[in-house]
Amino acid sequence: MGEVDPAFIQELEHRPKLSIIEAEGIPFIDLSMLNSPDAVSDPSTLDSLVSEIGNACKNWGFFQVINHGVPLEQRRKLEKASRKFFAQPWEEKVKVRRDEVKVLGYYDTEHTKNVRDWKEVFDFTVQNPTIVPASTHPDDKEVAEWHNQWPDYPHELREAFEEYAEELEKLSNKLMELIALSLGLPADRFHGFFKDQTSFIRLNHYSPCPAPDLALGVGRHKDAGALTILAQDDVGGLQVKRKSDGEWIRVKPTPDAFIINVGDIIQVWSNETYESVEHRVMVNSERERFSIPFFFNPAHYTIVMPSEELTSEKNPPRYRPYNWGKFLITRKGSNFKKLDVKNIQIQHFRISELADHLDGALSVI
């Protein structure tokens, strides 16, 4: 395979099998009851929706939603604008390139676990500007602003983005309510964390790849935020690591559905009742693919920790509290240092089982 830069080539164990297992089991959840004006709050219908959400989060960490209330028109408008943007020559796209100072915009050299992804992206934050810590230093309280870059072409991209972001924010809040209820918490338990959200939307473009058996569109990873809402086109390529057997399963494209996945923050908030699940993107040699994830992230000053209501002496907190903004900018920073930098992970805040055992042993003595 002479055509592919070695930077894109996955290690043997992480290369995708070209024979695909398509998921039967990833749940479909119908949200129509949340959006119908005459949905007289029938507690039993709500209860069954909440338990469907809870089971999907527990068993898969992924589910698809239909009748979600996001107008199709808004989604199509952004999808079209995204296609127009990426169809331009590279020289045009790099005019709004992301770098260490301007952290939002166009980017085509992203690495996941130190292997280059076969994709190009455009990042925008929902709040403009978005407030984040100025430095990774734990004692530094200074803040900085992230500003969106808007390309000249297509001119409708900005409006399409803003309308879509507003709709997706509404859907995210509804999903967070259902997730809170499924954990036995009040519906609004997590709302406050998103007041000064650091959410962002990414436009992804995966070109046809001459070596889909060696490279990945996005290498295996977990999403670091609270919740991801993904719009994928009809090409397919997203794979989820099935919890029951570790097999990579393709998420079948369903027109106009959204794919939802639990991120690391929900894993921590729920004290591992729900887990953030590994996923990756396969590319193919024939068709380009587009997708748009919405990453629903809390305010930078959020201290992420297991919810007190969900921990007890028998089920102690499994994570030490961490500052979301510092975590986020540490991640962003390491994207630019590229090879041989290990990304910060929630695993670094996990209270290790070994320590639990030792503590237990010590307290007995």
Ligand X SMILES: O=C(O)CCC(=O)C(=O)O
For Fe ion, give the closer residue by CB, 223 or 233.
Answer: 223
Least gap, CB of 293 to Fe ion (angstroms): 6
Q: Does 291 bind ligand X (CB under 6 A)?
A: yes
- Cβ contacts of residue 329 below 8 Å, gap of 6+? 132, 133, 135, 136
In this structure, what token pair is assigned to residue 202?
A: 């990414």
**Alpha helix (H) ranges present in the chain?**
32-35, 43-59, 72-86, 90-93, 157-182, 264-269, 324-337, 353-364
Q: CB of 281: closest distance to Fe ion in angstroms?
A: 8
Q: Which two tokens stand for residue 97?
A: 């390139």
Q: Is 98 in the site for ligand X (CB under 6 A)?
A: no
Which amino acid, residue 88?
Q
Q: Please state, in angstroms and rounded to a whole number, the distance separating the CA atoms of residues 278 and 261.
A: 10
Which residues, numbered 313-342, are part of the site for ligand X (CB under 6 A)? none
- Shortest Cβ distance from residue 316 to ligand X (Å)? 31
Q: How many residues bind ligand X (CB under 6 A)?
A: 11
Nearer to Fe ion, 232 or 307 (CB): 232
Nearer of residues 93 and 220 to ligand X, judged by Cβ: 220
Both tokens of 52, joined, read 């469907």
Per CB under 6 A, 293 contacts ligand X: yes
- The whole-angstrom separation of Cα 133 and Cα 300 is 7
- Which stretch, 35-43, 75-83, 92-100, 220-228, contacts Fe ion (CB under 5 A)? 220-228
CB 257, min distance to ligand X, A: 13
**Taking CB under 6 A as the rule, does residue 279 contact ligand X?**
yes
Which lies closer to Fe ion via its Cβ, residue 194 or residue 294?
294
CA angle 49–54–56, rounded 5-degree value: 95
Interface with Fe ion: number of residues (CB under 5 A): 1
Which residue stretch of 28-36, 59-67, 216-224, 322-330 sits at the interface with Fe ion (rule: CB under 5 A)? 216-224
In the window 176-235, what residues touch ligand X (CB under 6 A)? 202, 204, 218, 223, 230, 232
Q: Tell me whether residue 49 or residue 257 sits nearer to ligand X (CB atom).
A: 257
Q: Least distance in Å: CB of 107 to Fe ion?
A: 15
**What beta strand segments (E) does 169-327 contain?**
200-206, 218-221, 227-232, 238-241, 248-250, 258-262, 279-281, 289-296, 303-304, 322-323
Cα–Cα distance, 71 to 56 (Å, whole number): 24
Task: Tell me which of Fe ion, ligand X, none is bound by residue 96, counting a contact when its beta carbon lies within the kind-specific cut-off of 5 to 8 angstroms.
Answer: none
Other CB atoms within 10 Å distance of the CB of residue 94: 14
- Other CB atoms closer than 10 Å to residue 28's CB: what's the count? 12
At a CB cut-off of 8 Å and minimum separation 6, what does 115 contact? Answer: 7, 8, 9, 10, 11, 14, 216, 219
Which of residues 79, 123, 169, 223 is near Fe ion by CB under 5 A?
223
- Nearest distance from residue 218's CB to ligand X, in Å? 5
Closest distance to ligand X from the beta carbon of 172 (Å): 15
Q: Binding to Fe ion by residue 117, rule CB under 5 A? A: no
Query: In whole angstroms, what is the distance from residue 226 CA to residue 263 CA?
Result: 5
Token digits of residue 71: 């107008």
Which of ligand X, Fe ion, none is residue 202 near (CB under 5 to 8 Å by kind)? Answer: ligand X
- Residues contributing to the site for ligand X (CB under 6 A): 202, 204, 218, 223, 230, 232, 238, 279, 281, 291, 293
